Amino acid sequence: MQHLYQPPKQTVLSNHDLHRLHAPPLHAALRRESSDVAYLLGAWTSMTELGGQDWLAMSFTSQDHHQIGLLQQRIAAIFGEMPPLHPFTIHGKPYLRVNVPSAELASHVREVTSGNTRIPWEHLGTEGECKSFLRGVFDHGGWIYTGRSGGIGLNKKGGAELLEDLCRVFARVGILPIVVYGEVPSLKLKDISEWKAFAEHVELSLSDRREAVERLASRTSTKGHYTEDDYSAVMGLASFGTLSSREVGEATGIPTNTVRGWTVYGQKPPAVKRSGIIDGFSTRLGSPEVVHILYRELGASSHLARACGTSYTLRAIKEVLAPIPDAQEYLYGDDVRIQMALRGEQAQIER
């Protein structure tokens, strides 16, 4: 008789069984490429305040059963055993907690994140790990707002440097956020092109969050968040010189005051400003990768514009990078072509 395949049953550990877990699976996970470890580190980055937890245990808490289940599965993938969920209440509201059954991993996380004040680059050696890390961040934290002033972001009290590092992780997968500084700094993706790239590359696990990102990625422009196509349409109609700002606005769906700002006062939406800056750098250097590195190091397009302008030289780029300790090794690794471009050996500068 032919038997249907039955997958092996996963074992759920009780508190008394945790001693059965041993070090080799953890050591193996920390030595090789591991999307599971990267995912846990991403969740830790978004869910934990700066300074981290100062005890040996490492745990995650949520009211959402699906959310905490994602972490439970990742922990099981690392250790080969399914950790139990612990229900409890806070102010009468039900919560679930899952513990990472390894003081060694908890200590390792605190070390590679410096108490959740830096990005754990040691575990983000590949593009796949970067994507898994970002998925962990936004499966378990951050915000996705689909209202009129939509966007995707993460706030971190006192965490400006951490968010700047997170920009660099995004840049590795082709997404360029901005950091807005203030009492509570915020990393933000405010442009439709960034929402589309986020939907394509990060691929969130929770259906409600994934659907919210897809709604953002498929929407048309809203006030304050216009694309390069919006700008081109307005300027194209205005170039005929026969239509008023109101008529151009009615034809394109852009408010009259915004049309007047673009056509009369020379203002440009952020997407157009950033595109101009990146195009200007890329043309002069023949290396878009260098532009992305500069962008993520300076944190935001407005900072890049103020520090650099669009008529930029290789000498000026070196000056921007000079204050960064071990800039080439730290930022570019083994990419010899970019290093040579920064030294001026292969840069194609158009005068």
Residues 143 and 235 in one domain: no
Residue 6 lies in a domain: no
Confidence category of residue 310, pLDDT binned at 50, 70, 90: very low
Looking at per-residue pLDDT, the higher value among 225 and 300 belongs to: 225
Average pLDDT, the chain: 75
In the block, residue with structure tokens 């440009």: 268
Q: How many domains does the chain have?
A: 3
- The residue among 131, 139, 10, 142 whose CA lies nearest residue 77 is 10
CATH of the domain at 154: 3.10.28.10
Residues 68 and 148 in one domain: yes
User: Which among 239, 263, 287 is the end of a domain?
Assistant: 263
- Say what the pLDDT of residue 224 is: 59
In order of 4, 11, 105, 129, 188, the CA distances from 136 in angstroms are 35, 24, 17, 10, 17
Report whether pLDDT(154) > 60: yes
Do 185 and 40 sit in the same domain of this protein? yes
Q: Which of 10-14, 75-79, 106-110, 140-144 is the least confident region?
A: 10-14
Is the Cβ–Cβ distance between 52 and 113 less than 8 Å?
A: yes
> For residue 201, what are the domain limits?
15-217
Q: Which two tokens stand for residue 56?
A: 């040996």
pLDDT digits (tens, 9 = 90+) for 38-91: 999 999 999 988 876 655 678 899 999 999 999 999 999 988 889 999 999 988
Pair 258, 275 in one domain: no
As a whole-number percent, the residues of the chain with pLDDT over 90 amount to 31
pLDDT higher than threshold 60 for residue 167: yes
Q: Could you tell me the strand order of the sheet in which 85-90 lies?
A: 58-62, 93-100, 85-90
- Please indicate, yes or no, whether residues 242 and 293 belong to a single structural domain of this protein: no
pLDDT in tens, 197-226: 999 999 999 999 999 999 998 886 655 567
CA angle 279, 351, 286 (to 5 degrees): 40
Are residues 36 and 143 located together in one domain of the fold? Answer: yes
- Please indicate, yes or no, if residue 96 is contained in any of the structural domains: yes
Domain assignment present for 1: no
The residue that leads in pLDDT, 178 or 250, is 250
Q: Which residue has the higher pLDDT, 31 or 132?
A: 132
Of 195-204, 278-287, 338-347, the poorest mean pLDDT is in: 338-347
Residue 180 lies in a domain: yes
Looking at the fold, whether 204 and 325 belong to one and the same domain comes out as no
